[in-house]
Amino acid sequence: MKKMRSSSLFWAEEGFSTVGMVLALLISISLIFTAACVYEINSCSSRVQEVADAAALAAENTVGEFYLVAGISDAVILSLSLTTAGCLGLSVVCACVPPASGLSKTFLEMAQKTKKARDSFSESANESLGRLAQALPFIAAVKAQEVFSANSSLSDGAHYQGIVVLSPWEVEKGDSPSFHDSDEALSEVEQSRDCLEDVAEQAEEAAKRANEWKQYGYEHDSISPDAYCMYERAAKLAGMAGSDNPFFSSVDTWSFGASLERAKTYYRLRYQTEAPNGQSVDELSNSALRKRFYAYAQETVGQGYVHETESSFDAFFPRLPKNTDEMRSTILYTETVYPKTIDAQGLSVLHAWNGCPGLAQGSNGMGSIQEMDVAGSYAPCPYCKFVPSSMGKVAAASSSIQNGFEYHYNKVAKAADEYQKAREELDPLSQQAKDMAGGLLDSVGKAFVEACSQRIDITPPGHYGVISLVSDTGTAQTRFPSSLVSSEGVGGLGARVALSSATLVKESSDEGKNVVTSFLDGLSGEGSAAVGAAKLALQMWSGFLGVYTQGHDALLETIESVLNGIPLMGASGLGPWVSDALKDTIAGFGFAPVDLAARKAVLVNSQHVLKADDSAFSARLLSAKGAALMSQGNGGIDGALSCVQSAAMDAIADLGGEFTIATIVIFDGLVEVPVTVALPQAITGGLTQAVQQGVDSLRGIASSVTGMRQWE
């Protein structure tokens, strides 16, 4: 059977026909150009979103920059507040130290001047930052307009207009810094400084007298291992060594108590080791009387005491008789311990000791030197020759010349008495000065705490974020002109609208800290002509600038550094005490470094920003976005734009190309630095017109925003 052949205009068994091939090629080419046109349409449509994103980031970054400016101003106020408190503290310290009292008044004057500078700067900065914050939405708008203009200048036919709205729009301003405690401390120091200085001066004079007598006592106790003194005499006469007879190389390590203990040990050992130097009656008699004297000295000196604390001194150095008259006022005169006999004439005879040859016939009882001295019926012993002056002479020689232990002991005892008198005058004065200084330092401590708590409290517009609404009303020019695609392709795209949003996040980098630090470093005042207390005050202010970034450690280091430059040593010891008291006051509270992490703008879903803000604009725009996503038309965008338009034409009248926050002027003009912000040049130009055009453009195309368009 013959197979039937089929034929067609477009194909045959031999292959495609020419007409079919042409149509296939035309369809393929049309599809390629159509796909390219679709891509180009999508690309043109996406560019408006990119511009909206760029505008949002540029606008929100101005808010981040505001935080840096506010941080610098806050750091300056903190440093001036700390310097005021620090100068007051140093005024109190110097008032307690007469050698440095001249600095006290100067530091008080520095505190007064720094207070004025602080109040002036704080008031100016707080007001100016408030005005800058109010203008921040418009500064952000200028930044956005620059983005619109730069992208509109590209040769793709685009023309971008729109607005950016910071969320929230309004400034949130807390209470202005208040320095009640600092002012109170200043007033108290002004009122009490002169009195404190006078009391400290009296204490210093009393302390000098006390120290002179202490030095006098020390010199007779431990002046030298080889020179006559209690230490040397005890070693030579009693063989004392080691802990029984310590040597003190400095008066600062010596005390009256150490000298008294040396004397107690000395007389104990002298009593235990006393022995005659020969067997003659005179030597045996004298040895017996010396032993009697050492027994008395051991008991008497043993009753002595020294009670000494930092704030009191009470001592008793019992005196030993230096002659017969002084012996008569002691128990040596009245004690009945001497054997008595009756001689051939019937007169009583008193003997120096029991071994006297005059006692060969036995004793007739016991008597005292007083009996022998008062009664007229006593005769001297022909052997021991014991009379009242015999006992009086025992300590006479060693009490009258420098090679005697008693000579130096009596000198130390006199020094202790005079030292106690000086301390009785000094200690109440010293305590009075400490009480006065302590009270003033308590107030200064409150001023320090206040300085760390009274800060600039301004929350700028846009701290939640920024909303960017942008339209492209230009006519896009296709890069794929073709008769195969309708001419209504790209050119018929119409107006394009995009919504974007950005917010601030903190970065872990040190950029923010470095910006503040670099500014503060320029305020250190190094190389200035300041001298004396003014130089120390300037040094302190320079150090306190670092407290903002370094915290409490910088505070302590600065105070210690300045104190090291003040002569605090004095006889009264008030200098080291009040210096430590000031450092303890500062150490009693902590101050953590301020978080200076840089704030950078990042893109976020606009819903997060709008929900955080309860303003009318955010509420209406959030409603509009929700309606658009639900395919319910523009949902109130026109109302949202009206909210912006009604609030967008204020707050820039006082702004120019450079905006001065405040000027630092301290220490009689030694430091004078303005804190300024360079604003965009367009801030005083056509901003109002640009905002108006952006609102009109968006209002004109609001109806094109439908549920068919996805908002990011």
Backbone angles phi, psi at 697, to 5 degrees: -60, -45
Structure token pair of residue 16: 């495609």
What 3-state DSSP class applies to 368? coil
DSSP string, 472-499: E-S----S---TTS-TTSSTT---EEEE
**For the segment 449-467, what is each residue's pLDDT rounded down to a tens digit?**
888 888 788 888 888 888 8
pLDDT digits over 372-387, tens only? 888 777 889 999 999 9
Mean pLDDT over each residue of the chain, to the nearest integer: 79
What is the per-residue pLDDT for 556?
A: 85
Token duo for residue 694: 């952006």
pLDDT digits (tens, 9 = 90+) for 126-175: 888 888 888 788 788 888 888 888 887 765 667 788 878 887 877 777 77
In angstroms, the CA 216 to CA 225 distance is 16
Tell how strand 312-316 and strand 305-309 pair up.
antiparallel
Indicate whether 657 pLDDT > 80: no
At 675 the pLDDT is: 64
List the single range of 83-92, 334-343, 368-377, 550-559 with lowest mean pLDDT. Answer: 550-559
How big is the CA angle at 434 (ends 430 and 438), to the nearest 5 degrees?
175
Tell me, what's the pLDDT at 636?
A: 47
Taking CA atoms, 56 is separated from 60, 139, 634, in Å, by 6, 13, 22
103-108 average pLDDT score: 88
The structure tokens 């056509």 sit at: 686
Q: Cα–Cα distance between 374 and 331 in angstroms, integer?
A: 15
- Highest-confidence range of 328-342, 583-597, 698-712, by mean pLDDT? 328-342
Based on the number of CB atoms within 10 Å of its own CB, is 405 exposed (0-12), middle (13-18) or buried (19 or more)? buried
* 152 phi, psi to nearest 5 deg: -70, -20
Query: What mean pLDDT is predicted for residues 660-670?
Result: 60
Q: State yes or no: pLDDT of 606 exceeds 90.
A: no
**Is 350 in contact with 372 (CB distance < 8 Å)?**
yes
Alpha-carbon distance of 326 to 328, in angstroms, equals 5
* Rounded to 5°, angle at Cα 591 from 104 and 565: 30
Which CA distances in Å does 279 have to 284, 286, 386, 518? Answer: 6, 11, 17, 94
Q: Quick one: what percent of the chain has pLDDT higher than 70?
A: 70
Q: What residues form DSSP beta bridges with 470?
A: 162, 498
Describe the crossing of helices 18-95 and 552-563 by its angle, rounded to 10 degrees.
40
Is residue 373 within 8 Å of residue 178, measured between CB atoms? no
Percent of the chain scoring above 90 in pLDDT: 32
pLDDT at position 186, please? Answer: 93
CB 501 within 8 A of CB 601: no
User: What is the SS3 assignment for 267?
Assistant: helix
Tell me whether residue 99 is exposed, middle or buried, using C-beta atoms within 10 angstroms of its C-beta: 0 to 12, 13 to 18, 19 or more: middle
Per-residue pLDDT of 37-89, as tens digits, reads 665 555 666 678 888 888 888 888 888 888 888 887 888 888 888 889 988 99
Pair 585, 107: CB distance under 8 Å: no
**pLDDT-based confidence at 2, cuts 50/70/90?**
very low
Question: Assign residue 404 a region: left if phi > 0, alpha if psi is -120 to 50, beta otherwise?
Answer: beta
Average pLDDT over residues 200-214: 94
Q: Tell me the pLDDT band of 630, cut-offs 50, 70 and 90.
A: very low
CB-based burial label for 430 (10 Å; 0-12, 13-18, 19+): buried
Measure the CA–CA gap between 82 and 61, rounded to whole angstroms.
Answer: 32
More confident: 100 or 663: 100
Burial 509-539 (b: 16+ CB within 10 A, else e): eeebbebbbebbeebbbeeeebeebbbbbbb
Residue 348 pLDDT more than 80?
Answer: yes
Q: Nearest 5°: CA angle at 209, between 203 and 210?
A: 85
Residue of higher predicted confidence among 22 and 564? 564
Question: In the Cβ-directed half-sphere of 528, how many Cα atoms lie within 13 Å?
Answer: 22
Question: Rounded to an integer, what distance in angstroms lies between the CA atom of residue 551 and that of residue 246?
Answer: 49
